[in-house]
Structure 1
Amino acid sequence: MICFPNAKINLGLNIVSKRADGYHNLETIFYPIPIKDALEILPKEDLTEDIFVEAGIKVDASPENNLVMKALRLMRTKYNFPYLEVHLLKKIPFGAGLGGGSADASFMLRLINDSFDLGATKEELAALAVQLGADCPFFIYNQPVFASGIGEVFKEVNISLKGYYFILVKPDIHIPTKDAFAQIVPTKPTVSLTEIIKMPITEWKGLMVNDFEKSIFPQYPAIATIKETLYENGALYASMSGSGSSVFGIFKEEVHLQQLFGNHFYWEGFL
């Protein structure tokens, strides 16, 4: 039994207020993209515990702390099913603002539910997923949404980027959370993202923003340079995703720019 967890990007990200609990309220649009990991589970009657095998991009976490295994243990608190041999092939870069770990965790909840006919609804799985991370519930539904709160309150939006060409670049830069929030001044946007996405993509530049860029670009100018390069080569819209460090560009037509980005992680294709 196998599935293919996909990444997401943020179309705009506004930090609108600071909460009493120390977290920040935000507004963003989560949009799924076709960069994928592979996740397989093999039930084996002779196992006395779950086994985790990983390959691909090395994740800086012990097996017991990997979100996939946390999701598995969380499902065991609610349901009975055999011990599993779990295989994760990691292709989505981590520390990139793409939600790869969250995707793996939520797809694990879905895969176990479907494989063993446990009967959990999407709403029940989402309630479990939020215990693993604020953006995990998005991957239960895995469709474009306007997200608010800390990223766990969803409202469906009518947007499709199908047919546009997409380039994503992830430099070898890790951004600590404290750096991402440095110098952030929460501000309610003058125009809501739900209104901006109704406009042609050619009007998004300068209107749809990622507030994290204000503090991250001065600290990590290489990330800003990637965004500038995408625009210089014809991007209709370009932005950092989440708190970084990946940057994406949306193009009207197919382009090939890998030679411009050296050894950075690079992905291109139609959405």
Structure 2
Amino acid sequence: MIKTISMLDFPNAKINLGLLVTEKRPDGFHNLESCFYPMGWCDALEIVQADELTFTMSGLPVPGNPDSNLCLKAYKLLQQGFQLPPVHMHLHKVIPMGAGLGGGSSDAAFTLKQLNSLFELNLTPEKLEDYARQLGSDCAFFIRNEPVVAVEKGDVFKPTSVNLDGYTCVLVYPGIHITTAEAYGNIVPKKPSCGIEMFLKQDVGVWKEVLKNDFEEALFPSYPELAGIKQQLYNAGADYASMTGSGSTIYGLFKKEPANLVFPGHYLLWKGLL
């Protein structure tokens, strides 16, 4: 029995608290170590039972063929094991692409969760994570959507006690789309002398000296405006500022809401209390 014929949800972004690229894998991917932390910057995804499978989008333009969107891929992946009725999916895109925020991965994971609930598939979080890993390296994070330390390809998780409740986070996307290939092109993997978990246990005010994103060193020389945004956030009083993912969003963590933050009009900004 179907509980309802439609469902609306809000796939959210994430940031990386530190990101170390530790080695290149035989399969061509890279092993990494990072802390994934959910953010309140959200898309909107509605799934409605329909006579035929359709998918539409609004909001920020998404490059590429809509037929290759991860939401559709998530539906078709589940369809391999279940007799899913056709649905209409509408995605309103708010989280920018190529921004290191995991928006596409979140959309895919939320599609899996919504279909699981809508059609009472009774898939456990563990099984949903298995499906999500087939769609993308960090898709599985958004199934439980809680802070974790991510290792291997970013799809194996360890619990973490890091808690940013009470901090205000400012996310700044300058409109620079950085492809994964470009981001990894200048990366030299290296084994860290100390794991990220040790740094996360320290006060946020200490992170500036110890918690690094390897992609900053690789990308800041080509995109000096990114380094400028990071410095502007520190000048405004951020306890910690960093690039998230492989760019190009820069975020700052503030103990109190910052004032006098002014960026060019074409930048996309999000600010929220964690």
- Is 1:213 matched up with 2:219? no
Q: CA deviation at 1:17?
A: 1.0
Secondary structure at the counterpart of residue 32 of structure 1: strand
Aligned length: 268
- Is 1:153 matched up with 2:156? yes
Q: CA deviation at 1:43?
A: 0.5
Q: Does the 8 A contact of 1:14 with 1:27 survive in 2?
A: yes
TM-score by length of 1: 0.96
Instruction: Percent identity, please.
Output: 48
- Structure 2: runs of 5 or more not aligned: 1-6
Q: Does the 8 A contact of 1:56 with 1:89 survive in 2?
A: yes
- Is 1:34 matched up with 2:37? no
Secondary structure at the counterpart of residue 194 of structure 1: helix
Please point out which of 186, 194, 210 is paired with 2:189.
186
> What is the correspondence of 1:1-271 to structure 2 with a 5 Å cutoff?
1-44=7-50, 47=51, 49-271=52-274
Equivalent-residue separation in structure 1 for 2:163 and 2:11 (angstroms): 20
Q: 1:258 to 1:233 in 2, by over 3 A?
A: closer
Q: CA deviation at 1:257?
A: 4.6
RMSD: 1.1
Q: Does the 8 A contact of 1:258 with 1:266 survive in 2?
A: no
**1:73-122 deviations in Å (ceiling 9; x for gaps):** 11111112221011111111111000000000000000000111111111
Letter in 1 for 2:115: I
Q: Does the 8 A contact of 2:236 with 2:259 survive in 1?
A: no
Q: CA deviation at 1:173?
A: 0.9
* The 10-residue stretch of structure 1 (174-183 or 109-118) with the greater mean CA deviation from structure 2: 174-183
Q: Does the 8 A contact of 1:17 with 1:25 survive in 2?
A: yes
Q: Give every structure 1 segment of 4 or more consecutive aligned residues whose post-TM-superposition deviation is greater than 6 Å.
A: none
Q: CA deviation at 1:212?
A: 0.6
TM-score by length of 2: 0.95
Q: Does the 8 A contact of 1:180 with 1:216 survive in 2?
A: yes
**1:178-237 deviations in Å (ceiling 9; x for gaps):** 321233221122221111111110000020000011110001111111111111111100
Q: CA deviation at 1:260?
A: 3.1
Equivalent-residue separation in structure 2 for 1:139 and 1:146 (angstroms): 13
